[in-house]
Structure 1
Amino acid sequence: MPRRREVLAALAAAPVAAAMPLRRARAAEVTLKLHHFLPPVSNAHRNMIEPWAKAVEAASEGRIAVEIYPSMQLGGRPPSLYDQVRDGVVDVVWTLPGYTPGRFRRIEVFELPFLPASAEATSQAAQRLYEEAFPDEFPGVKVLCTHTHGPGAFHLRDRPVRLVGDLAGLKIRAPTRVINRTLELLGAIPVGMPVPQVPEALSKGVVDGTVLPFEVTRPLKIHELVKYHTVFRGERGFYVATFLFAMNRARYESLPEDLRAVIDAHAGIGLAKRFGRAMDEGEKPGIEAARERGNTFIEVAGDDLADWITASQPAVEEWVAAAEGFDGGALVTRARELVAEYAG
């Protein structure tokens, strides 16, 4: 993780063209620097982060300006984003809590296997459970929303995976410790890394495959690096990763009351729902790109799916048993209830 002064220096030295400021009708009173790790062609940038910034600017009548810095343009690596926003190096970030393993334990509940539904449903469940059960999970920041991507799939270079046993010995990239442990229990060799590193790892054979939602596969050209995609056809997906969209707490509290109200109006469960829906809608282009390339799709259902669910349950049991300072079993139960409520 870069030192604070190094990141500040990068911020000060970053050329104006590096940021992606949005048009505004009047001089802004407040400029928010928003930092994230994906490229500007990504679904998250184009259909979540940028629309949020435009909406905030419009609602503030130009008094708030938002400058978006994608692809870690202000320095550091994806795991440093939370500390950057907490420390006030940047104003807003979009990141994964799981990029710092074990630090944010309670939000991990949504990453347990075969718990999630669609991104829209699971994102609302995640935001609601955060508000209900652990509003102190993210110190130093104003949580704009938590959310998830849609249920992830396997993407394999050379070996198809249908049965649980097919994973044996395969090096599979995963984003967080919970998902890594699930893969390990299923017989794979988990390799943790942030998503921007995945294309190179696949192209060089560092990993045999990866778990990802299709939403991010097209901008990263994952479909050009693999031959096989394994998807799960049940009521609940194999896994999701959780995301955090957050603002520096002191920066938020320094705003005039009416501008804090603007931020509040563009935060919470409504924002989680919109972000989740954008994640769901982003799946189709990734699937289409893989099909157009002629890649093979493997659908896991019926008895094969039941075997996957059974084999992955020790990951849930371990997570519950390892919970410290909170009731892991109660959190799993409530997460499942909320997912079911929003999935309908």
Structure 2
Amino acid sequence: MNFRHLLAACGLLAAAALPARAEEITLKLHFHLPQTSFANTLFIQPWCEKIAKESNQRMKCQIYPSMQLGGTPPQLYDQVKDGVADIVWTLPGYTSGRFPTVEAFELPFMMQSPAATSRALWDYVQQHAQNEFKDVKPLAFHVHGDGVFHMAGKPVRTMADLRGLKLRAPTRLTNKYIAMLGATPVSMPVPQVGDALSKGVIDGAVVPYEVVPSVKLQELAKFHSEIDPAEPAFYTSTFIFAMNKAKYESLPADLKKVIDNNSGQALSGQIGRAFLQADREGKALVPAASVNVIPASELAAWKALGNKLAADWVKEMDGKGLNGTKLLEDAKALIAKHATTRVQMD
């Protein structure tokens, strides 16, 4: 062996003696709101930073906001199921009727604390709805803060003010409830709200304050009508933060543990708290003079209609072979259970 061959052989031996470099995993994370949205800055980005840190930078997110991987918001769940994205954040209610069990949390006047209700929602899914989400690996379930009427032409002070107006609503049950209140519901994902308001397609939208900057509601809506904050929210929506099952199963054990340590009931509650903060920041963007509060004294008739919608939903679930009464009772019981710790947790 000549000197050159000897050097080459030594080099190969030295390379073989070095420890193998750990594989770096990139997770494609897809959602429908802009990169500047509170959902991204207060929840998604911090979660990604945390898993990167806890994995020693071996696992990182590549964030795709505003549907940059293609498709429409209602397709996000199937995108993570099919592996188009590794992780998505979306609303089950964007695919009407596909996830009926979790609709219990979208009934009127169910939610008062986003953090407590989000923890309750996680527990509820473990008890009643795992089969509905069996095609993905859920990382968290959560709700947003109180729904607010954001109106272009006039404020909402009584139920009569809604009569004949076209209002955007997000989910099947909220659309039904809006119709019961006297308005005409228009179903659309949040990203379409700004354009619909600016063109007069809708007279207003029901969304939480958290969404205000994402669709420029501080510019497009002249009035912002809230429910008395001492009362439960007149509506909320459920969300899922989910991972592709095959992608999760492909991770080495230590990286699976990082994901497991950053998912579940605790993460669900953390997201709920983030959305409470987002509501505060979103509300700060609208002029105080444009905000009015619908008083508790006005809400008795609203609640009666909400109770009727709940009774109708129970019957509908019974017709699907589900125990609607138990689903609703368990949802209320879990919300009440977790609400006992809301002062410490929110």
After TM superposition, the score normalised by the length of structure 2 is 0.89
Match for residue 104 of structure 1 among 86, 99, 102:
99
Q: Secondary structure at the match of 2:243?
A: strand
Residue 308 in structure 1 maps to residue 302 in structure 2 = yes
Q: Residues 174-205 of structure 1: CA distance to partner in whole angstroms, max 9, x if unpaired?
A: 01111001111111100000000000000100
Aligned AA (1:88): G
Report the equivalent of 2:129: 134
Q: Residues 104-162 of structure 1: CA distance to partner in whole angstroms, max 9, x if unpaired?
A: 11111111000111211111111111112221121310000110100111111102211
How far apart are 1:300 and its partner, in Å?
A: 1.7
**Structure 1 spans left out of the alignment, 5+ residues:** 1-25
Q: Does the Cα contact within 8 Å between 1:162 and 1:230 map onto a contact in 2?
A: yes
Q: Residues 13-57 of structure 1: CA distance to partner in whole angstroms, max 9, x if unpaired?
A: xxxxxxxxxxxxx97521110001110111100110011111111
Residue 191 in structure 1 maps to residue 194 in structure 2 = no
- How far apart, CA to CA, are the structure 2 residues paired with 1:322 and 1:100? 17
Q: Secondary structure at the match of 1:231?
A: strand
Report the equivalent of 1:151: 146
Per mean C-alpha deviation after superposition, the further-off stretch among 190-199 and 227-236 is 227-236
User: Counterparts of 1:15-54 in structure 2 under 5 Å?
Assistant: 28-54=23-49
How far apart are 1:277 and its partner, in Å?
A: 0.3
Report the equivalent of 1:173: 168
Report the equivalent of 2:9: none
Match for residue 257 of structure 1 among 243, 253, 263:
253
* Identity level (%): 47
How far apart are 1:86 and its partner, in Å?
A: 0.2
How far apart are 1:262 and its partner, in Å?
A: 0.9
Q: Secondary structure at the match of 1:282?
A: helix
Q: Secondary structure at the match of 1:253?
A: helix
Structure 1: 4+ residue segments shifted above 3 A:
none
Q: Does the Cα contact within 8 Å between 1:216 and 1:286 map onto a contact in 2?
A: yes
Report the equivalent of 2:279: 283
Q: Does the Cα contact within 8 Å between 1:35 and 1:90 map onto a contact in 2?
A: yes
How far apart are 1:325 and its partner, in Å?
A: 2.8
How far apart are 1:311 and its partner, in Å?
A: 2.5
Aligned AA (1:318): D
User: Counterparts of 1:63-102 in structure 2 under 5 Å?
Assistant: 63-102=58-97
Q: Does the Cα contact within 8 Å between 1:27 and 1:62 map onto a contact in 2?
A: no
Residue 124 in structure 1 maps to residue 122 in structure 2 = no
Structure showing greater radius of gyration is 2
Q: Does the Cα contact within 8 Å between 1:28 and 1:62 map onto a contact in 2?
A: no
Report the equivalent of 1:56: 51
Match for residue 298 of structure 1 among 292, 308, 315:
292
Aligned AA (1:342): H
Q: Does the Cα contact within 8 Å between 1:28 and 1:65 map onto a contact in 2?
A: no
Match for residue 243 of structure 1 among 239, 244, 251:
239
Q: Does the Cα contact within 8 Å between 1:218 and 1:285 map onto a contact in 2?
A: no
RMSD: 1.3
Q: Does the Cα contact within 8 Å between 1:99 and 1:176 map onto a contact in 2?
A: yes
Q: Secondary structure at the match of 2:221?
A: coil
Residue 322 in structure 1 maps to residue 316 in structure 2 = yes
Aligned AA (2:278): G
Q: Does the Cα contact within 8 Å between 1:30 and 1:64 map onto a contact in 2?
A: yes
Match for residue 331 of structure 1 among 319, 322, 327:
327
User: Counterparts of 1:160-239 in structure 2 under 5 Å?
Assistant: 160-233=155-228, 234-239=230-235
- How far apart, CA to CA, are the structure 2 residues paired with 1:200 and 1:134? 35
After TM superposition, the score normalised by the length of structure 1 is 0.89
Q: Secondary structure at the match of 1:290?
A: coil
Aligned AA (2:337): E
Q: Secondary structure at the match of 1:229?
A: strand
Q: Does the Cα contact within 8 Å between 2:156 and 2:294 map onto a contact in 1?
A: no
Residues paired across the two proteins, number: 317
Q: 1:146 to 1:40 in 2, by over 3 A?
A: same
Aligned AA (1:261): K
